[in-house]
Chains A and B, each alone.
Chain A
């Protein structure tokens, strides 16, 4: 719809952007917890994007002379049984864990939103089928279901993503369905019908954006769960394989050495895991405030 960009339109775009940035700043400063979460999330994202460039050692490089050294100035988080630098491995692992979580959440967000919108808007048979599908997924212990899916589909990273996406799907479907049902007869939806909007457009343009604020909270919470889920699957030996650095595997491998006193092997990846989950759980509220225009005053 955007045509030749002339001066007033450009100015308008800039003004809108400035308003949005001002709003983000307000959300961050009004709630210190959100600010803390945003800083942590920024650090985690930096580690994920630039990880291999900023770490002091090659995370895969073994060094027989430096096996199982405790944390020191040269090796901040110590070294593992093959002499690899734990700090470098923890930082580099952020990329893989985050990529799995993001991909899984993006998939369940998209598919769940579409299924939830259709189910809540049309009701009837569609709703019954989608509803029973959710019930079926929810009937399993979710982690066991994920294990089953990965075991059945094959032990690859893609399948971890699919498994994580499937077990999170019902949460999105149910939430979007509920948000859609309360709005499908709302005045503004009727008005949109009168303006000649077809059903798909009403769903996408009128109803879906109104379901975004609660969905953002769900996305953020889910990112945390998805990271835990991916790490959990790796911990029991599914998905990511050694020697690739990944928090779950690192905890699993390090666990063998805790009894002999080398606590740092499992401790630091575990800490990273905990911080990541903590961060995304806290971030949810802030994200909701950012996407809700009612907070923009």
Chain B
């Protein structure tokens, strides 16, 4: 239930590209490489991240420290964060013709909030003001691979990150595992429903990036393509 793109001025319509996947799926790395490539080609790019608006970041982190966030408070604080970035950046920049790269989008809320116990319909309605992305890459990864990537060099895992608020297990690592696998379940259900482009995130980083760039090239407007001078392959070769 994501609203249809308004095309008030088709000539100046931007492109919205989203990456989704569990922690450790490598999606941020892929988005970073995509960002570099598009910028190096002189295109107007704006990158935005989940839970990064100045307006609510502090409150969310305070609530997390005190472990006093109920599922719906948690959900609404993230929705506030998203709305602020949406109203301030995403929406106006799309209008202005930018390529907007979003590290997590409404689908993260659809997955996490529902796992935490919010009503799926309510969460979808809450975010219904957000336009549907031009493409959503879903980085599909076996849970063990993701957990290994996340755990390297980390002795501890945070309370909400591990989903400890849901009483899944007293052991943070066990809790994290259960939580992440439930999120995967939600994502898997969205693949068809929300039209995700699935990327096998167990592949090499560079292989994945080639695929991502090829897909992105297909949807960029002609005007943008004419400006580009590097092919998908070139950017990744190091």
A joins B in a complex:
no
Chain A contacts to B: CB under 8 angstroms: none
Which residue numbers of B lie inside 8 Å of A, CB to CB? Answer: none
